Amino acid sequence: MTSTFGTPLASLQAQDIQLYRELLAQNSAPQVPVQPDSSTGDRAFEAREDSLERLLSSGLAVPDEQSETGFTPVNPETVGSYVVAEILESSARSAINLLRVREELGPVVAEYRHNHLRNGCGYVTHTGFADINAAIRLAARECRGEVLTSQPGGARSAAVLSESLPSTLEMLDRGVAMRTIYQHNARSSSATRAFVHTIQQRGAQVATLDENFDRLIIFDRTVAFIPADEDRRAAAEIRAPAVVSFLAALFERSWIRALAFTPPGRDQATTRITDDLELAIMRHIVAGDTDSVTAGQLGISVRRCQEYVARMSAKLGSRSRAQLGYLIAKSELLDNVSQAPDASP
């Protein structure tokens, strides 16, 4: 077989398939003319030559002096197997090249990071979700020992959780220890509960807090990511050891106060979470915060916050929000409240 299968398969036309059909029929197929045929005209001759060229370049036909047509058709499955094999071989070469590029660029990437860290007071700012996610994915791949994350805002969307699950499981499967803190309200989300259940089965530890906190990711206590603006469209990648150590200590203090994540139900943890949320709302009322501010800080809806406020008002006999704040402060309900350092189930 003299044709080269490295040439991409040409797009076959109806006349090409007709010529291939004639080649299969050998005995009834007319000889492909080598000179213009006055009976068919130059245009038909050129079209037939084009079809033959496409069959030859695709490997579906090869020259054969012993055949009546001067060409022999080739089994398409044979052609396909050659093409598939070459595609797979090309893919393998591409994968090897990608690994080589990553390996060769590794020292340069390290120098780039170090330069930015030296000139940027120990951090690099990433702008845009694509750049932020790329930097986090790179740090996640390099992580070998531990990842600590704080995820505020209550329940997360199923799409976000589904996107992050593969990389999360990959880290857990290679032995990375993982601890994550959500706000209490995340327990009400079925998508979050399913995500947490999956990663807990792989060894992750998850807990929740009634407090407001900001997003934080720490890998191996050597690199941390925090928001760099209010709308979180920019993130700071921090590698200054003192700053990362400080952020890790903040996480540990939050972890001590957090409650281990359990599905909602009539159990001790659920009662405790409800009590904690009610106390947190009381603190905001005494501080004079509006329902929208309180809800935003605690990761709950404004309507749910208003329901809590209404129940407190009925319980304490308050007729206004200002009076409610006064009655809460006077009742000493917020005095000597235990912060429950035990985060075990």
Rounded Cα distance between 277 and 323, Å, is: 20
Q: For residue 6, is pLDDT > 50?
A: no
Is residue 131 domain-shared with residue 141, that is, in the same domain? yes
Instruction: Write out pLDDT tens, residues 202-244.
Output: 999 999 887 778 899 999 999 999 998 877 789 999 988 899 9
Quote the percentage of the chain above a pLDDT of 70.
78
Is residue 49 domain-shared with residue 111, that is, in the same domain? no
Q: Which distant-in-sequence residues (6+ apart) come within 8 Å of 211 by Cβ?
A: 183, 254, 257, 280, 298
Contact 281, 294 (CB under 8 A): yes
Average pLDDT over residues 183-202: 86
Contact 210, 339 (CB under 8 A): no
Is residue 253 domain-shared with residue 180, that is, in the same domain? yes
Is residue 110 domain-shared with residue 132, that is, in the same domain? no
Is residue 141 domain-shared with residue 224, that is, in the same domain? yes
Rounded Cα distance between 85 and 7, Å, is: 13
Rounded Cα distance between 50 and 134, Å, is: 48
**Which domain-ending residue is among 204, 230, 260?**
260
In a domain, 337, yes or no: no
Question: What is the CATH classification number for the domain harbouring 238?
Answer: 3.30.870.10
Give residue 340's pLDDT.
Answer: 41
Q: Which residues sit opposite 148 in a β-bridge?
A: 179, 218
In a domain, 336, yes or no: no
Is residue 230 domain-shared with residue 272, that is, in the same domain? no
- Find the range with the poorest average confidence among 16-25, 117-126, 158-167, 241-250: 117-126
More confident residue, 144 or 302: 144
In a domain, 130, yes or no: yes
Question: What is the CATH classification number for the domain harbouring 315?
Answer: 1.10.10.10
Give residue 292's pLDDT.
Answer: 84
Rounded Cα distance between 57 and 7, Å, is: 7
Query: What three-state secondary structure class fits 116?
Result: helix
Is residue 128 domain-shared with residue 111, that is, in the same domain? no
Taking residue 62's Cβ as centre, other Cβ atoms within 10 Å add up to 15
In a domain, 159, yes or no: yes
In a domain, 3, yes or no: no
**Which domain-ending residue is among 119, 134, 152?**
119
**Count of domains observed in the chain:** 4
Average pLDDT over residues 258-286: 71
Is residue 302 domain-shared with residue 243, that is, in the same domain? no
Is residue 197 domain-shared with residue 214, that is, in the same domain? yes
Contact 139, 223 (CB under 8 A): yes
In a domain, 344, yes or no: no
Q: What is the mean pLDDT of the chain?
A: 77
Give residue 22's pLDDT.
Answer: 79
Is residue 167 domain-shared with residue 236, that is, in the same domain? yes
Q: What is the largest CA-CA distance in the chain?
A: 111
Average pLDDT over residues 21-49: 61
In a domain, 254, yes or no: yes
**Which domain-ending residue is among 57, 92, 119?**
119
Q: For residue 341, is pLDDT > 50?
A: no
In a domain, 40, yes or no: yes
State which residues form the domain around 296.
268-331
Is residue 107 domain-shared with residue 67, that is, in the same domain? no
Instruction: Write out pLDDT tens, residues 109-154.
Output: 666 666 655 555 667 888 888 888 888 988 998 899 999 999 887 6
DSSP letters of 209-236? ESS----EEEETTTEEEEESSTTSSEEE
- Find the range with the poorest average confidence among 134-143, 164-173, 258-267, 304-313: 258-267
Is residue 256 domain-shared with residue 273, that is, in the same domain? no
